[in-house]
Amino acid sequence: MNIFIFGLVNSVILALTASGFALAYGVSRLANFAHGALYILVGFATWLFLNRLGINYIGSILLSIIIVSIIGGGIYRLFLIRVKGMPVSEIIASLALGIAIMELFRWRGFISEAYMLPPFINGSVSIAGVMIDWQRLIIIGVGLAMMLFLWLFTHHTKVGLSFRAIAQDKHASMMSGIEPDRTAVISLAMGSALAGVAAVVILPLGNITVETGYMVLTNAIAVCIIGGLGSWAGVFAGAFLLGFAQILTAAFIGPQWQMVVVLLFIILTLICKPSGLLGKQKELEERV
């Protein structure tokens, strides 16, 4: 039972952190490697507002999420737009920016234990005989709500539908009046906002460190590769598969083997089904 609950928590954490990355990539084919950087940016910003400027918790959260969204959209508008269409240059540019941001934090000394965000609700509760803290429950709640929101958004709102249209066929959607650049800015902004939401619910579990940024990026990519890009179901599937695999490994083999498991899964996916479990990007496989 223990395993089920913590597996669930882990999976939702992975899904949350990956969703921002998946959105930007799924929609605009923009692999935003600054994703991890934006994640910790939200964390630090919230900390700053809370502790240095004395703004209340909710206000800090909202403020940092808004700021990060603007930064995310700005990254596209200022930098990535100039290299659009050249996927490698996009990766290099966003990666370099992400690293610049994260290392900037490291330089300013944000590596120590001192930076923490308080949990929303303190204490824990017993569910089915397992002690679990409220924060983790909140994570599950927020995560599931987020998944639902994203699904509804991309299926029932105009902007969301235009996201899917562009992902399927850029030129056809351009002919329908959807501007790819504007959509890209919005998708990156949303992706950053999602990263932000993930950050504020998950970071209270531990410290804010620069390493977290790199881990988040790695995990997001892993989830997207394993689950496949192009569908939320894929992100979900990948997150749950990886999430439970990690917890099971930690429980039965040893917590240090978790990373090995991630590595193995990625390699297996690439060998057996490169487009991922539920991926729709068949063109990633051997093409005619």
Question: Which residue ranges make up the site for other proteins (CB under 8 A)?
Answer: 31, 33, 79-80, 82-83, 87-89, 91-93, 95-97, 99-100, 103-104, 106-107, 214, 218, 221-222, 225, 255-260, 262-263, 266-267, 270-271, 274, 281, 283-288
User: How many CA atoms are closer than 13 Å to the CA of 51, on its beta-carbon side?
Assistant: 11
DSSP state of 120: S
Of 53 and 267, which has the nearer Cβ to other proteins? Answer: 267
3 state SS for 191-227: HHHHHHHHHHHHHHHCECCHHHHHHHHHHHHHHHHHH
**Shortest distance (Å) from residue 228 CB to other proteins:** 12
Indicate if the alpha-carbon torsion angle 225, 203, 199, 212 is positive or negative: negative
Of 141 and 254, which has the nearer Cβ to other proteins? Answer: 254
Of 135 and 281, which has the nearer Cβ to other proteins? Answer: 281
**Shortest distance (Å) from residue 17 CB to other proteins:** 15
Of 41 and 65, which has the nearer Cβ to other proteins? Answer: 41
Of 188 and 201, which has the nearer Cβ to other proteins? Answer: 188
**Shortest distance (Å) from residue 87 CB to other proteins:** 5
**Shortest distance (Å) from residue 210 CB to other proteins:** 9
Alpha helices in the chain (DSSP H): 2-28, 35-51, 57-74, 87-107, 134-156, 158-168, 170-175, 180-202, 210-227, 232-252, 258-272
**Shortest distance (Å) from residue 28 CB to other proteins:** 13
Of 112 and 126, which has the nearer Cβ to other proteins? Answer: 112
Of 63 and 224, which has the nearer Cβ to other proteins? Answer: 224
**Shortest distance (Å) from residue 152 CB to other proteins:** 27
> Phi, psi (5° rounding) for residue 124?
-135, 170
Task: Of 197, 198, 170, give the one whose Cα is nearest residue 183.
Answer: 170
Pairwise CA distance, residues 245 & 247, whole Å: 6
**Shortest distance (Å) from residue 11 CB to other proteins:** 20
Helix axes 2-28, 232-252, angle to 10 degrees: 140
Contact criterion met (CB below 8 Å) for 274 and 284: yes
Residue by residue, DSSP assigns 46-69 as: HHHHHHTS---HHHHHHHHHHHHH
